[in-house]
Amino acid sequence: MRTKPLAVAALLSTSIPVHAVFERTYHSSPLAIQPLTVLVRAPSYDPQNSTLFLVCPTGSAIAQPSPVIYDSTGELVWADPTIGGCNDLNLQTYNGKKVLTFWAGNGNPGTGVQVGNGTARIFDEAYRSVANVSAVNPGGGTDLHEFRIVQPENKTALVTAYTPVPADLSVVGGPKEGWYLNAIIQEVDIASGRVLFNWTSFDHIALTESYNNISQAEDGLSSQTAWDAVHINSIEKDSHGNYLISARHTWTVYNIDGRDGQILWRLGGKNSSFTVTGNDTADAQFHWQHDARWRGSNVISLFDDGAAVLGGTFVINEPVATGKFFQLDLERKTVQLVNRFIPAPNAGPSFAEGSTEVYGSQVVVGYGSNPWLTVHDLTTQQLLFSAVIGPNNSTLWLGGITNYRVYQTSTNEFIGRPQTTPAVTAERDSLGALSVYVSWNGATQVVNYALLTGADAGSVKGTLRTVQRTGFETQISGEGSEGYVQVAALAKDGSVLGTSAVVPVPTVPLV
Ligand SMILES: *[C@@H]1O[C@H](CO)[C@@H](O)[C@H](O)[C@H]1NC(C)=O
Ligand SMILES: *[C@@H]1O[C@H](CO)[C@@H](O)[C@H](O)[C@H]1NC(C)=O
Ligand SMILES: *[C@@H]1O[C@H](CO)[C@@H](O)[C@H](O)[C@H]1NC(C)=O
Ligand SMILES: *[C@@H]1O[C@H](CO)[C@@H](O)[C@H](O)[C@H]1NC(C)=O
Ligand SMILES: *[C@@H]1O[C@H](CO)[C@@H](O)[C@H](O)[C@H]1NC(C)=O
Ligand SMILES: *[C@@H]1O[C@H](CO)[C@@H](O)[C@H](O)[C@H]1NC(C)=O
Ligand SMILES: *[C@@H]1O[C@H](CO)[C@@H](O)[C@H](O)[C@H]1NC(C)=O
Ligand SMILES: *[C@@H]1O[C@H](CO)[C@@H](O)[C@H](O)[C@H]1NC(C)=O
Ligand SMILES: *[C@@H]1O[C@H](CO)[C@@H](O)[C@H](O)[C@H]1NC(C)=O
Ligand SMILES: *[C@@H]1O[C@H](CO)[C@@H](O)[C@H](O)[C@H]1NC(C)=O
């Protein structure tokens, strides 16, 4: 629908792409995925290495756009580039089952078209497609910014959509016969596709609430350059049936009545319903924010980008993007900043995207157009873990590698059971030494690999050696192999999770 690229990428993509420069590649798999580079890891952090990070790296330095799961040692766990560009990979509950959810399609909040036209998708633990969800929006399809299954009912989903509508924009200095990019939120029944709630920004939010300077940004003269006044990027439904939405371009979090769509109150922006109190009033503001979530009945967390790019202009309102928690007094209508999570060792404003999520006693912050993630203790704010998607190379940020949100799960909550078998290749190095390389994309329970061998393809059964899985791909010495090899993937209890194809051992090259 919209062809105008986000200026971040337009400005910075000159020295990019750098495909096949930094990606990790494998002997047994054609995947070429950026590494997760770990910069800080507290000794107490994730002792069993069971944490999984769910991301969708995109950008001009990404050779294989795909949903990606990494573990906390930085190793790849799963990627499927046949899916293509995605956003918002998450683990949610649908129909009583743990599912992987994401949005896939055209558009990219960090480096391409600012809003998306795609499909919200649901995969089971075997990485099979079990449902697709779409907004009902003939003018723009299903947007990439939100796909949240409403809990505990686990039957309906919240999605965003955008569509250009004709509008008089003269009140903000735009054309009288202009175009407005209407932000739509819908709650959709997943099984039937029926729209249960439909709400648009144009019907409820004054043009004058916007901070998206129409002279700097889109001109609003055509449907292709419709003015993105509000830019909704998160929706959450509370237990009263009301919707909390984050609107980046009005710097406002709105609470919307689930019965009639009226705005119950605004937090932030030009017309906040709340007065800032507490001793940190300066930092209690937020700009260009993402991912507003309830954390209990009167605390809201969000990711405060502190910056944006409007047209070709970098707008920096805060020097560093941070995760923030606000305590609301809903009677007195006061708000105070109660927690702030600051990135390290890299720090700076984020020009797009980002998330602040809570897992037990930890907070995971994703910095969006800066492809960093940090994990902090929720109470003490102590930095426990810090990593970068891709190398620790600032040249690649701002459009080279970006990531919309960072969600987390663990190998205790999510059991990846791929439908494939382990992939194996047997190779000799230049000295003739034989190695067998094995990987099993998406398998989360493999602890050991057993190398089996036999003189011919039909007689492979003797176990030559058993080695620990060392990461996405494990190298096994092939010394002593007969003519054929096969690898069995073993669980912690020694049971066989899967066996590879039988492959011939390459002959020793004549020197
Ligand atoms: C990562 O890069 C930043 C500069 O962008 C530097 O300050 C930091 O020390 C680097 N960290 C590591 C662990 O290399
Ligand atoms: C976790 O990963 C680290 C780094 O790769 C490794 O040193 C450590 O032994 C692993 N711990 C466990 C319990 O596997
Ligand atoms: C969802 O859409 C994809 C892409 O069009 C398709 O391959 C897949 O079969 C669909 N899944 C279901 C459950 O309909
Ligand atoms: C959205 O994408 C679909 C599939 O590519 C296409 O048929 C449709 O025309 C697009 N809609 C808009 C409004 O661009
Ligand atoms: C979640 O969905 C399942 C299957 O439809 C249903 O049985 C269960 O009651 C739902 N959970 C809740 C809390 O509503
Ligand atoms: C949602 O509301 C908009 C504006 O009021 C309207 O144009 C559109 O048809 C509605 N969509 C649905 C699916 O009800
Ligand atoms: C909006 O942008 C124009 C053109 O760059 C500039 O002259 C004006 O000061 C800006 N207004 C605000 C409120 O920033
Ligand atoms: C400001 O908010 C109040 C309610 O809190 C609302 O009545 C009023 O219309 C809003 N003003 C504008 C300009 O949106
Ligand atoms: C505010 O100041 C008081 C007293 O100096 C201090 O105890 C409290 O932790 C401060 N609160 C915040 C949010 O910084
Ligand atoms: C960082 O990335 C840029 C762009 O690809 C590359 O030119 C440069 O060599 C990289 N720097 C390091 C230290 O790898």
* 425: β partners: 437
For the chain, which residues score pLDDT lower than 70?
1-20, 107-113, 509-511
Burial of residue 52, with CB atoms counted within 10 A of its CB: 0-12 exposed, 13-18 middle, 19 or more buried: buried
Taking the C-alpha atoms of residue 144 and residue 86, their distance in angstroms, rounded to an integer, is 8
Q: Tell the residue nearest (CA) to atom 7 of ligand 10.
A: 395
Taking the C-alpha atoms of residue 233 and residue 84, their distance in angstroms, rounded to an integer, is 21
pLDDT tens profile 270-302: 999 999 998 888 899 999 999 999 999 999 999
Substitution candidate for ligand 9 out of 276, 279, 334 with most atoms within 8 A of CB: 279
* CB-ligand 10 contact for 373 (6 Å cutoff): no
Q: How far is the CA of 193 from the centre of ligand 4 (A)?
A: 18
Taking the C-alpha atoms of residue 215 and residue 121, their distance in angstroms, rounded to an integer, is 37
Q: In what order do the strands lie in the sheet with 129-133?
A: 86-94, 97-106, 117-123, 129-133
| Beta carbons of 354 and 405 less than 8 angstroms apart | yes
* CB-ligand 8 contact for 250 (6 Å cutoff): no
* CB-ligand 1 contact for 37 (6 Å cutoff): no
* Three-class secondary structure of residue 365 per DSSP: strand
Q: How far is the CA of 22 from the centre of ligand 10 (A)?
A: 9
Substitution candidate for ligand 3 out of 82, 95, 122, 129 with most atoms within 8 A of CB: 129
| Beta carbons of 479 and 435 less than 8 angstroms apart | no
pLDDT tens profile 381-390: 999 999 999 9
Q: What pLDDT, on a 0 to 100 scale, did the predictor assign at position 18?
A: 52
221: Cα separation from own chain's centroid: 33
Percentages helix, strand, coil for the chain (3-state, rounded to 5) are: 5, 45, 50
Q: What pLDDT, on a 0 to 100 scale, did the predictor assign at position 97?
A: 97
Q: What pLDDT, on a 0 to 100 scale, did the predictor assign at position 20?
A: 61
* CB-ligand 3 contact for 129 (6 Å cutoff): yes
42: Cα separation from own chain's centroid: 24
Q: What pLDDT, on a 0 to 100 scale, did the predictor assign at position 108?
A: 57
Q: What pLDDT, on a 0 to 100 scale, did the predictor assign at position 366?
A: 98
Residues 6+ apart with CB under 8 A from 410: 50, 51, 52
Among 338, 415, 405, smallest CA distance to 99 is for 415
Listing DSSP states for 119-171 in one string gives EEEEE-TTS-EEEEE----TTT-B-SS-EEE-TTT-SEEEEEEEEEEEE--GG
Strands 462-468 and 448-454: antiparallel
> Is the full-model pTM beyond 0.75?
yes
Strands 156-167 and 178-189: antiparallel
Q: What pLDDT, on a 0 to 100 scale, did the predictor assign at position 195?
A: 98
Cis peptide before 109 (omega within 30 of 0): no
| Beta carbons of 65 and 82 less than 8 angstroms apart | no
* CB-ligand 5 contact for 96 (6 Å cutoff): yes
Looking from the CA of 136 toward its CB, the CA atoms found within 13 Å total: 13
Q: How far is the CA of 141 from the centre of ligand 4 (A)?
A: 6
Q: How far is the CA of 428 from the centre of ligand 2 (A)?
A: 29
CA 104 to ligand 3: nearest atom:
4
Q: How far is the CA of 131 from the centre of ligand 3 (A)?
A: 7
Q: How far is the CA of 393 from the centre of ligand 10 (A)?
A: 6
Ligand nearest to the CA of 315: 7
* CB-ligand 10 contact for 396 (6 Å cutoff): yes
Q: Tell the residue nearest (CA) to atom 8 of ligand 5.
A: 96
Q: What pLDDT, on a 0 to 100 scale, did the predictor assign at position 111?
A: 42
Q: Tell the residue nearest (CA) to atom 1 of ligand 1.
A: 392
